[in-house]
Amino acid sequence: MFLTTTQWSSVNPADGEFRESRLRDEDLWGGLIGIGATVQRFHGTKESGLELIRKLIPHMPEPLEIQDQIVEPRVTLLETNAGKCTNKELIGLKEFKGELEFIRKGRQEAMEPWNRGGSCR
């Protein structure tokens, strides 16, 4: 995480340094700096903006958990955490579909007398 100061192209460098040092005070940015934030300057140029963007983008992309699981231990898709979760959801949907079918059949059987023109007395 970093905190960015701006307007460096329109301020006297000594004034900018003074203002930046005041931002580092504990009552302002000091708490964030204390937990690892750094102060970065934006000079109002394309190059300065690109430098800030490069600092935001990690240099080494982290692999997804599913990628690690498939590549390292060489497990199947169904054996990954994502596969297990998806499979569990599919099983739940299948059970729900079975329950709906059971209810539909029960309703159909209950309506049988009326469907044959009979009545329940």
pTM over 0.75: no
- Closest C-alpha to 2, from 25, 35, 28, 27: 35
| Distances in whole angstroms, Cα of residue 9 to Cα of each of 34, 35, 45, 52, 110 | 28, 29, 9, 16, 82
Task: Kindly tell me if the per-residue pLDDT of 121 is higher than 60.
Answer: no
* Mean pLDDT value across residues 66-88: 87
Q: How far apart are CA 43 and CA 7, in angstroms?
A: 7
What is the reported pLDDT for 18? 92
Of 27, 32, 91, 13, give the one whose Cα is nearest residue 83: 91
Tens of pLDDT, residue by residue over 26-72, are: 888 988 999 988 899 998 899 999 999 888 887 677 888 888 888 88
Rounded Cα distance between 40 and 101, Å, is 63
Residue 82: phi and psi, rounded to 5, are: -65, -40
